[in-house]
Amino acid sequence: MAQLQQPVPLQTCVAAPAIQHQLVAGLLAAHAYTSPKYLYDVLGSRLFAAICELPEYYPTRTEAAILQKHASQIAAAVGRDAILIDLGAGNCAKAARLFSTLQPRQYVPIDISEQFLQESVNALRQQFPQIEMTCLGMDFSSELELPPSIARQRRQFFYPGSSIGNFSPLEALKFLCRIRKAIPGGDHHGGLLIGVDLIKDTAILNAAYDDSLGVTAAFNLNLLHHLNRLLDADFRPSDWCHRGFYNAEQHRIEMHLEARDDVTVHWQNGGIRRFARGERIHTESSYKYTQQGFIELLQQAGFGQVQTWSDPRKWFMVCHAHPA
């Protein structure tokens, strides 16, 4: 039977007042925004799992096909008996599909949505009792300090789904540097396996983030329920609508919540913001890359020996890199 540690409460990583301060600063900015990590409460995580099944949302199935087709090459690059550290693990399904090929010694799923992660790992450990599992609730977007229970050697970070796109290119570089720092120098068995969405036709990108069933809209609007709980606010989702589109100049998808009419929102300690009709809250960006552009980003972060695999249409790329 795999051993499962109790998840580390998120409050130990980011205190509640710090979360509130970050959210209020974003809501009061000239162009209001929130971090995309707040899209992922329990319901948000489940809605995102549903998004991954939509016909318009190509990243999940395209990445899965790449991982399956090139499984032996990826396994050779990663190596067996690794400490597989799954960043933004969610329902853990992507990592679980790799277990039979990679045969990790320990699986370390990390996610900000602690309760959802716990449920996912509880189910997963029944299927793979031979793999030690250490579940961590952590906001890894701002820090990546792992507890002593995670061995330092053979750390293989797994960051699928092109979640790296949620960071601006400069933030992505800093984040990749934190991952590189978490792999001890001289550990030739450590590395990073990462999924990257590539620049493609605008219509394909727009459909992926504004699906016909409205699941992505529900995912985005659910953020307002989460804000209400975190800030004791009075957002009404019916006052807002989802906007998702590709910004070709910035090479990124943008998701916004747009006020349907003039709206006034209140939150704790007398906080208030008036939104005019059509005014938006920027809730997520998803940057798209060229293959060479992302390889250069990895190299700037201190990685080398980069191997890449892609689908026939060049829509998506999976990379593995060792510390330089």
Cβ neighbours of 261 (radius 10 Å) = 10
Per-residue pLDDT of the chain (324 residues; tens, 9 = 90+): 222 233 333 333 333 788 999 999 999 999 999 999 999 998 998 999 999 999 999 999 999 999 999 999 999 999 989 999 999 998 899 999 999 999 999 999 998 878 888 888 988 888 999 999 998 988 888 888 899 889 888 999 999 999 999 999 999 999 999 999 999 877 778 999 999 999 999 999 999 999 999 999 999 999 999 999 999 999 999 999 999 999 999 999 999 999 999 999 999 999 999 999 999 999 999 999 999 999 999 999 999 999 999 999 999 999 999 998
CA nearest neighbour of 108 among 78, 143, 135? 135
End-to-end CA, the chain: 37
pTM greater than 0.85:
yes
The H or E element containing residue 116 is helix 114-127
Q: Report pLDDT for 14.
A: 35
The Cα–Cα gap between 90 and 93 comes to 8
CB 231 within 8 A of CB 24: yes
CB 10 within 8 A of CB 138: yes
